Chain A
């Protein structure tokens, strides 16, 4: 479809957590690509497996979690089977990360500058003075005023929004090809959130990096993403261009999700309500995981699990579109 090169390709990814009673499947058969200069949004409610997908890609799954199947490709190189040591070189250098809580992703005992310079020196062959200059430039680029002074301060001397900027600067240190941002604005106030979204988008344009933006906030996705994947109970329910997913949802879950979000300017007496809540990983129902809550459920949904099916410009894992072609084979 697009002529741009894919930066990240995830194929049939499966993440399992083995325990005494068997395997918990946290991520099941997830496939997507993120192209150069593109923002892929990944949305879903808590427990949908969106953060787990991000952690699996960068090889930071907490044991006993493990990748039980599928492949992850970065710029044409397979990275899911690399050693810890090789993966460590890729993290920070070719994949940057931004996490939800900026306070826990910075070391409180070192100055912001020390942390930036350390990261730069680990991955690039520069002198300390050059690295420091680069760090100051980066802080300026992410919109921190008087970076030459701020560089010698500690994380606690920064406000929440400024800290998140520092974390983004850290992720950008070595011009990564891919940035994985896990709920980067969730801990921030709305006015700061708007600033951070703008910053992420600008950096994506300027550096040509690909961004995978994991969030539960549809509003943030609408503002930032080019394409969006909606996850439910460990699988992708729907994936497609952001306008299509938001305005012409193909999966009943996406439709319900969109209807349940209050919007300023929409005078509704009641919000659309999806009954019940997402199943626990131990009790995912047979057939389509959404079937007990789905208003349009029919017999096939209760017995057979749907794969992604192409519908217009999106694909949805829903039997309502069963006359289309199956996406899983077509994607290969």
Chain B
């Protein structure tokens, strides 16, 4: 479908963590090893110049994906392909160095991600020096000023320390630092979650402007579906380490397939106050250490049957480039059952 090469592609990308008890305890209590499958063979592609968002509730593995993508974690299975380069294959520093410059990360907490003892100038100059982009002080100063102005701060702000800025301004500084190495791809892990709504709007607008000006591609991690709706071109919905639905964002919001996606969209507080009918939300995310068998979502799913409990659903591709992992969708019984449930609800009410 997409002719152009994607900026990033995840192929069966997986990460598991060993969360076993200490050896002695395992022997005494006769426990086995325990593995946490934080990310379980996920596939997605991010086209150049677009925004791909990952949503899901806490503990679903979305931040682990962000860390895998930028190489802060090594995958335990599958691979991440950045602009045609298999990142897992490039283990040596030298090989990575050329690629590293081209993607950067923005973190959630702008209070923790900036060194309080460094002046803003030094914070932004660091990636320029580290990636060997320039070692001429005049040129570095020019680049720092340019990036500060890109994020709508003034060049004079470089002299200040992070504590002199508000949360929103600090997040602008993180963005300026990320832009300093002239990257093509930014991984943003909940960049606005720690900010107030009016400041969040400023940062989201800024991110969109920068994307247009510099042709950036974003991997955007968030739990806030309204923010995701606003910023995304493509969307992936994660549940307990698995990508349950992925496709063009507008399409998924308009016509969600997977019961979990439906539930998430139904749970968004309704600013319009239309009093729309909802499928009631039940239960909570189970522990990812011992996820439910079969489809991880089956204990909370109103449409689950025996097959959902035992068999992991494969990918069903639907028209409109949407991939869903759900037995009910695959069997084509979901639409009818949703209608039935809604009927029951309205007659009960």
Q: Are A192 and B225 in contact (CB under 8 A)?
A: no
A273–B230 alpha-carbon span in the complex (Å): 14
Stretch in contact with the other chain, from B101-109, B265-273, B318-326, B333-341: B265-273
**How many residues of chain A are within 8 Å of chain B by beta carbon?**
44
Q: Are B196 and A45 in contact (CB under 8 A)?
A: yes
Determine if A246 is an interface residue (Cβ-Cβ < 8 Å). yes
A144–B231 alpha-carbon span in the complex (Å): 37
A46–B285 alpha-carbon span in the complex (Å): 29
Q: Are B202 and A273 in contact (CB under 8 A)?
A: yes
A189-B58, A194-B281 known; A217-B198 Cβ under 8 A: no
Residues of A contacting B115 in the complex (Cβ-Cβ under 8 angstroms): none
Determine if A233 is an interface residue (Cβ-Cβ < 8 Å). no
Q: Are A190 and B268 in contact (CB under 8 A)?
A: yes
B250 CB → nearest A CB, Å: 8
Residues of B contacting A27 in the complex (Cβ-Cβ under 8 angstroms): none
Closest partner residue, chain B, to A217 (CB atom): B269
Determine if A197 is an interface residue (Cβ-Cβ < 8 Å). yes
**How many residues of chain B are within 8 Å of chain A by beta carbon?**
38
Within residues 151 to 202 of chain B, which ones have a CB less than 8 A from any CB in chain A?
166, 168-169, 196-202
A261–B198 alpha-carbon span in the complex (Å): 7
A246–B226 alpha-carbon span in the complex (Å): 17
B201: contacting residue among A189, A246, A272, CB under 8 A: A272
A222-B270, A271-B204 known; A190-B230 Cβ under 8 A: no
Within residues 246 to 271 of chain A, which ones have a CB less than 8 A from any CB in chain B?
246, 256-257, 259-266, 268-271
Determine if A235 is an interface residue (Cβ-Cβ < 8 Å). no
Closest partner residue, chain B, to A243 (CB atom): B273
A190-B225, A193-B267, A257-B198 known; A262-B284 Cβ under 8 A: no
Q: Are A261 and B281 in contact (CB under 8 A)?
A: no
Residues of B contacting A191 in the complex (Cβ-Cβ under 8 angstroms): 57, 263-264, 267, 281, 284
Determine if B146 is an interface residue (Cβ-Cβ < 8 Å). no
Determine if A325 is an interface residue (Cβ-Cβ < 8 Å). no
Determine if A205 is an interface residue (Cβ-Cβ < 8 Å). no
Determine if A8 is an interface residue (Cβ-Cβ < 8 Å). no
Q: Are B197 and A218 in contact (CB under 8 A)?
A: yes
Determine if B227 is an interface residue (Cβ-Cβ < 8 Å). yes
Q: How many A-B residue pairs have CB under 8 A?
A: 115
Q: Are B202 and A222 in contact (CB under 8 A)?
A: no
Closest partner residue, chain A, to B206 (CB atom): A273
Determine if B73 is an interface residue (Cβ-Cβ < 8 Å). no
A265-B253, A270-B208 known; A260-B197 Cβ under 8 A: yes
Determine if B205 is an interface residue (Cβ-Cβ < 8 Å). yes
A241 CB → nearest B CB, Å: 11
Residues of B contacting A242 in the complex (Cβ-Cβ under 8 angstroms): 273
Closest partner residue, chain A, to B230 (CB atom): A262
Q: Are A277 and B269 in contact (CB under 8 A)?
A: no
Residues of B contacting A212 in the complex (Cβ-Cβ under 8 angstroms): none
A222–B266 alpha-carbon span in the complex (Å): 15
- A residues within 8 Å of B by Cβ? 45-46, 159-162, 189-195, 197, 216-220, 222-223, 242-243, 246, 256-257, 259-266, 268-275, 277-278
Closest 4 CB pairs of A and B: A219-B269, A260-B201, A262-B230, A45-B196
Q: What are 23 contact pairs spanning A and B, CB under 8 A?
A: A45-B196, A45-B198, A162-B284, A190-B57, A190-B225, A191-B263, A191-B267, A191-B281, A194-B267, A194-B269, A219-B226, A222-B271, A222-B273, A246-B271, A259-B201, A260-B200, A262-B231, A263-B226, A264-B253, A264-B268, A270-B205, A277-B196, A277-B199
